[in-house]
Structure 1
């Protein structure tokens, strides 16, 4: 469920339509900029009713180069937070 919702959020954010989102792909493959990634995180928080702390995002690399982060990392983080 979490995985599917995050895939859907990624597809919507990056205009992928009904394409299957590869959660192993870094966001750089979608030509994501920092605003896209902030909007994606906000969308995931709303959709899954979870608050993702900034320090948790920083631990994934959002503080350095968020474009290297993958959807799989977000799935794992949200799963842990909702635990």
Structure 2
């Protein structure tokens, strides 16, 4: 689920349509700049109803790292609800 959401967000952000997105590829492959990354993270936040602080995604260069960060945020939310 998380990987699919990140793949869809990357495809949307970079106009890739239904093309498959390789999460192991560097985001720079899509000519991503810092504004693109911010918009990408905002899309993921909106889609999954989470919040990712700016200082946590500044060094994200791969889709897999973004998926991992997204997963950690979802776990944090789930843990708070259980607590």
TM more than 0.5: yes
Query: Which consecutive aligned stretches of 4+ in structure 1 deviate over 3 angstroms post-superposition?
Result: none
Matches within 5 A, 1:57-68: 57-58=57-58, 61=59
Query: How much is the aligned-residue C-alpha RMSD, in angstroms?
Result: 1.1
Cα shift at 1:36: 1.0
Cα shift at 1:55: 2.5
Consecutive unaligned residues of structure 2, counting only runs of 5 or more, are 76-83
Consecutive unaligned residues of structure 1, counting only runs of 5 or more, are 63-68
Matched, 1:70 2:65: no
Matched, 1:47 2:47: yes
Tell me the number of residue pairs that the alignment of Structure 1 and Structure 2 aligns: 75
Normalising to structure 2: TM-score of the pair? 0.84
Normalising to structure 1: TM-score of the pair? 0.84
Q: Which has more radius of gyration?
A: 2
